[in-house]
């Protein structure tokens, strides 16, 4: 999330006043020259301006406009996901799960059964009735959506099998992508110019469509008419995928990036400009990666680390950057605004208001604030200020403990100050912010209070601090607290780094029964085969 839109980075907003800019909440810049803009304001009005190629502004005609014009049919809708093709055409999902499309339609990429361009947004309902769409993705002239129940639907141009139907006939209406995806639950989708990809919930990646530059990562250059799993990522749990013009990036649950496909601008970040048919690990500074960015209109790649460093590589204003380069930006969106050609947004960009506090932000601000608190916890000699009524609403344990009490101070000796403060803050924010090493103590607390959601958040945080040295200790912790997700993650990490892990002090000091079980399980997955 950005605090404010920097007008200098998006020239199309140069004619807006500061007052107008303050009202903008979501933005998408698109088009062959980055000359088309759609944005939503704080009161859910939707406007567009720019060159309006093929009616892609959705304002009812093909006239270019330097002044913002309202898209009436979208006003009052809350935008959830937006993508665009090269035609250009635009596909948009609302927070209600409705899908709208407009613009260029020569290849049926609008999914309305025709090949006529549409100058206004039309709702796509065929085969999507009673389906809530949560994500959309466009290739050059095809479209794809992901539903809340993990199904993938596609339509449009299909010359290379990018629709995944098994043929190369264009598809005029949305149809579910089946084949190997038939009984799988997808969690993320992406499109290159003429290919499509999906990540499923167990971390596998399925790909289909054009493969002339190896962008499918299958080890060859042949097109793929139906979804095919990338076998080279076996044992690697992928969380997110992003497609450039003809290259692909994935982010793993260990915070690593793998890349493959076209590399003529260094967009794979490998230090050379040779295409890669298989996934290769991208080496970035030691910090964990939390976000990857690419879009099918450019040959640029970007990533953000856990420490908020933003790197870019690939095409940069006509230059080739062949290794990840540390920028001065605070978000990956700025990379595409300043360096990519064309200068477009790689996603629907959200802008937070500067002055208005939401309910969630107000509650967060009230935490540990002595001004209006009516209860203090004393931990390790320090105070944490809270509100009884809020704790009773949020936590079953406090509902009974504080029900008739008149206490103003409660002493806590079972947990450390950072752990207990993080727990109380979680009740106010629904998130946790503490280092992975402290999250183990919080996992203990979550088990003690039987808070399964907190337990899940702790597991996610602990994962971020895993290393070859502490992997065995974290595995022991996961087993102790019956944290199954963390246990599986630690076990997989140990298998992927087996040589170093088995030479660590933690392995030598391992509990006898735990070691026996570990060796047995590792043998079953073939870890000790030559």
Question: What pLDDT digit, counting tens, does each position of 168-195 carry?
Answer: 999 999 999 999 999 999 999 999 999 9
148: left (phi over 0), alpha (psi -120 to 50) or beta: alpha
Task: State the average pLDDT over residues 359-364.
Answer: 87
* 192-201, 308-317, 335-344: range with lowest mean pLDDT: 335-344
- pLDDT tens per residue across span 7-25: 457 788 878 888 888 889 9
Q: What is the pLDDT of residue 402?
A: 84
Cβ–Cβ < 8 Å for 133, 145:
yes
In the predicted structure, residue 164 carries a pLDDT above the cut 90: yes
Is the pLDDT at 285 greater than 80? The verdict is no
Q: What is the distance between the alpha carbons of residues 189 and 143, in angstroms, rounded to a whole number?
A: 11
| 438 pLDDT higher than 90 | no
Angle at 483 between CA 481 and CA 488, to 5 degrees: 135
Give the neighbor-by-neighbor strand order of the sheet with 152-156: 133-138, 142-147, 152-156, 171-176
- The helix/strand/coil state of 418 is helix
pTM above threshold 0.75? yes
d(CA 238, CA 142): 24
Say how far residue 224 (Cα) sits from the centre of its chain.
Answer: 25
Residues sharing a CB contact under 8 Å with residue 509, sequence separation 6 or more, in sequence order: none
Instruction: Tell me if 96 sits within 8 A of 159, measured CB to CB.
Output: no
In three-state secondary structure terms, 441 is helix
Q: Could you tell me the two tokens for 180?
A: 């190997």
Task: Give the integer Cα–Cα distance in Å for 50 and 14.
Answer: 12
User: Which class is 79-329 in CATH?
Assistant: mainly beta
Q: What is the pLDDT of residues 324-348, one digit of tens each?
A: 999 999 899 999 998 998 989 999 9
Determine the Cα–Cα distance for residues 192 and 197; give it in Å rounded to an integer. Answer: 8
Model confidence at 3: pLDDT above 50: no
The rounded distance, in Å, linking the Cα atoms of 425 and 431 is: 8
CA torsion sign, 378 to 379 to 380 to 385? negative
User: Is-contact 211 180, C-beta < 8 A?
Assistant: no
What's the rounded mean pLDDT across residues 50-78?
95
C-alpha span between 474 and 529 (Å, rounded)? 25
Look-up of token digits 């106010």: 428
Residue 281 is encoded by which pair of tokens?
A: 């690990």
Sign of the CA dihedral running 95, 100, 104, 110? positive
The structure tokens listed for 289 are 């990666």
- Going by the DSSP 8-state scheme, the letter that residue 53 receives in this structure is G
User: What are the residue boundaries of the structural domains of the chain, listed by start?
Assistant: 1-76, 79-329, 359-525
Q: How much helix, strand and coil, in percent to the nearest 5, is found in the chain?
A: 25, 30, 45
CB contact at 8 A, 244 and 301: yes
**What does the alpha-carbon distance between residue 318 and residue 264 come to, in Å, rounded to a whole number?**
12
Q: Select the more confidently predicted residue: 307 or 304.
A: 304
Does the structure show a pLDDT above 60 at 99? yes
DSSP helix/strand/coil, 337: helix
Asked whether residue 485 carries a pLDDT value surpassing 60, the answer given is yes
Radius of gyration, alpha carbons of the chain? 25
88: tokens are 């250009």
Q: Is the pLDDT of residue 465 over 50?
A: yes
Mean residue pLDDT across the chain: 92
Helices 436-448 and 417-429 cross at an angle (nearest 10°) of 70
Check pLDDT > 90 for residue 202.
yes
Burial environment of residue 18 by CB neighbours within 10 A (0 to 12, 13 to 18, 19 or more): exposed
What is the structure's pLDDT at 8?
52
* pLDDT of 6: 59
Q: What is residue 7's predicted lDDT score, i.e. its pLDDT?
A: 45
**For the ranges 3-12, 53-62, 88-97, 132-141, which has the lowest average pLDDT?**
3-12
The CATH number of 359-525 is which of 1.10.357.10, 3.40.50.300, 3.40.50.11540, 3.30.710.10?
Answer: 3.30.710.10
- The beta strands (E) that lie in 124-275 are given as 133-138, 142-147, 152-156, 171-176, 186-191, 195-200, 205-209, 224-229, 238-243, 247-252, 257-261
Residue 23: the pLDDT is 87
Give the model's confidence band at 315: pLDDT under 50 very low, under 70 low, under 90 confident, else very high.
Answer: very high
Q: For residue 401, what pLDDT is reported?
A: 83
> In the prediction, which pLDDT does 2 show?
43
In angstroms, the CA 300 to CA 365 distance is: 38
User: What pLDDT, in 10s, does the model give residues 253-280?
Assistant: 999 999 999 999 999 999 999 999 999 9
| Beta bridge partner(s), residue 81 | 93
pLDDT score, position 111: 97
Q: Report pLDDT for 335.
A: 94
The reported pLDDT for the residue numbered 264 is 97
Beta-carbon contacts of 37 under 8 Å, excluding residues fewer than 6 positions away, are: 10, 12, 13, 27, 28, 29, 30, 48, 49, 50
**Residue 349: is its pLDDT beyond 60?**
yes
* Torsion sign (Cα): 161, 162, 165, 168: negative
Given pLDDT bands bounded at 50, 70 and 90, which one contains residue 353? Answer: low
Report residue 198's pLDDT band, with 50, 70 and 90 as the boundaries: very high
Who has greater pLDDT, 355 or 329?
329
pLDDT recorded at residue 101: 98
pLDDT at 437 over 70: yes
Lowest mean pLDDT among 81-90, 358-367, 414-423: 358-367
In this prediction, residues 290-309 reach a mean pLDDT of 95
As a whole number, mean pLDDT of residues 37-53 equals: 95
Instruction: Find how far residue 464's CA is from the centre of its chain.
Output: 16
Task: Reply yes or no on whether the pLDDT at 355 is more than 70.
Answer: no
Strand, coil or helix: 66: strand
pLDDT above 80 (res 530)? no
Residue 242 has pLDDT above 90, yes or no: yes
What pLDDT does residue 352 have? 66
**pLDDT at site 295:** 95
Residue 1 clears pLDDT 50, i.e. is over it? no
Look at residue 159 and tell me whether its pLDDT is greater than 90: yes
Q: Name the least confident of 51-55, 171-175, 404-408.
A: 404-408
pLDDT at site 359: 85
More confident residue, 461 or 228: 228
């Amino acid at each position: 999330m950005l605090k404010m839109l920097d007008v200098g980075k998006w020239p199309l907003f140069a004619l807006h006043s500061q007052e107008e800019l303050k009202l903008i909440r979501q933005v998408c810049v698109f088009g062959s020259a980055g000359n088309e803009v759609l944005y939503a304001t704080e009161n859910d009005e939707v406007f567009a301006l720019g060159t309006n190629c093929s009616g892609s502004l959705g304002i009812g005609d093909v006239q270019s406009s330097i002044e913002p014009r309202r898209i009436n049919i979208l006003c009052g809708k809350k935008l959830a996901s937006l993508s665009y093709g090269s035609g250009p055409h635009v596909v948009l999902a609302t927070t209600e799960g409705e899908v709208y499309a407009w613009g260029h339609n020569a290849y049926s990429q609008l999914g309305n059964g025709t090949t006529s361009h549409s100058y206004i947004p039309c709702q796509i309902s065929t085969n999507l009735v009673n389906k809530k769409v949560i994500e959309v993705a466009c290739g050059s002239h095809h479209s794809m959506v992901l539903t809340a129940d993990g199904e993938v639907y596609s339509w449009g141009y299909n010359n290379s099998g990018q629709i995944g139907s098994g043929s190369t006939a264009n598809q005029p209406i949305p149809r579910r992508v089946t084949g190997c995806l038939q009984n799988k639950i997808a969690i993320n989708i992406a499109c290159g110019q003429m290919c499509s990809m999906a990540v499923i919930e167990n971390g596998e990646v399925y790909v289909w469509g054009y493969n002339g530059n190896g962008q499918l990562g299958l080890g060859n250059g042949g097109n793929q008419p139906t979804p095919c799993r990338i076998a080279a990522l076996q044992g690697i749990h992928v969380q997110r995928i992003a497609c450039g013009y003809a290259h692909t990036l994935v982010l793993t649950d260990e915070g690593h990036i793998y890349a493959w496909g076209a590399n003529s601008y260094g967009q794979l970040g490998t230090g050379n400009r040779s295409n890669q048919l298989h996934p290769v690990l991208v080496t970035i500074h030691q910090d964990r990666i939390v976000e990857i960015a690419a879009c099918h209109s450019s040959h640029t790649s970007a990533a953000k680390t856990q420490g908020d460093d933003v790197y870019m590589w690939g095409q940069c204003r006509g230059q080739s950057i062949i290794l990840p380069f540390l920028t001065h930006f605070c978000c990956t969106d700025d990379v595409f605004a300043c360096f990519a050609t064309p200068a477009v947004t790689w996603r629907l960009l959200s802008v937070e208001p500067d002055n208005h506090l939401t309910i969630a932000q107000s509650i967060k601000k009230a935490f540990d604030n002595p001004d209006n608190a009516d209860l203090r916890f004393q931990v390790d000699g320090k105070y944490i200020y809270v509100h009884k009524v809020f704790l009773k609403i949020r936590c079953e344990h406090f509902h009974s403990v504080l029900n008739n009490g008149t206490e103003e101070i409660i002493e806590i000796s079972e947990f450390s100050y950072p752990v207990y403060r993080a727990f109380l803050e979680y009740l106010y924010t629904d998130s946790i912010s503490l280092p992975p090493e402290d999250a183990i103590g919080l996992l203990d607390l979550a088990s003690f209070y039987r808070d399964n959601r907190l337990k899940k958040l702790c597991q996610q945080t602990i994962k971020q601090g895993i290393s070859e040295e502490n992997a065995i200790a974290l595995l022991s912790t996961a087993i102790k607290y019956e944290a199954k997700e963390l246990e599986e993650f630690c076990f997989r990490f140990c298998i992927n780094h087996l040589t170093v892990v088995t030479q660590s002090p933690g392995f030598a000091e391992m509990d006898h029964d735990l070691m026996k079980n570990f060796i047995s399980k590792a043998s079953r997955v073939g870890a000790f085969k030559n």
